[in-house]
């Protein structure tokens, strides 16, 4: 899906993000997204461990 986006579309999306969130909030937003992704992956691995132990 993201491969279908051209450089013009990506630049437009970035411009909209900067206008909506402002330049100072973007690093905080990126940090929060990274932490959320880390927690999500951690939850997936813990869920897989729980499933494996329940099967035994």
pLDDT tens for 6-50 read 889 989 998 998 888 888 888 888 899 999 999 999 998 888 877
Q: Range of 52's domain?
A: 22-56
Domain count, the chain: 1
Query: Has residue 45 been placed in a domain?
Result: yes
Query: Has residue 6 been placed in a domain?
Result: no
- Position 25 scores a pLDDT of 86
Query: Has residue 5 been placed in a domain?
Result: no
Q: Are 50 and 42 in contact (CB under 8 A)?
A: no
- Position 2 scores a pLDDT of 57
- The Cα–Cα gap between 10 and 28 comes to 21
Query: What is the value of pTM for the model shown?
Result: 0.55
- The Cα–Cα gap between 27 and 41 comes to 21
């Amino acid at each position: 899906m993201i491969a279908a986006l051209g450089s013009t579309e990506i630049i437009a999306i970035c411009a909209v993000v900067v206008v909506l969130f402002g330049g100072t909030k973007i690093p905080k937003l990126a940090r929060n997204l990274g932490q959320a992704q880390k927690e999500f992956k951690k939850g997936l691995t813990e869920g897989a461990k729980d499933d494996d132990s329940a099967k035994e």
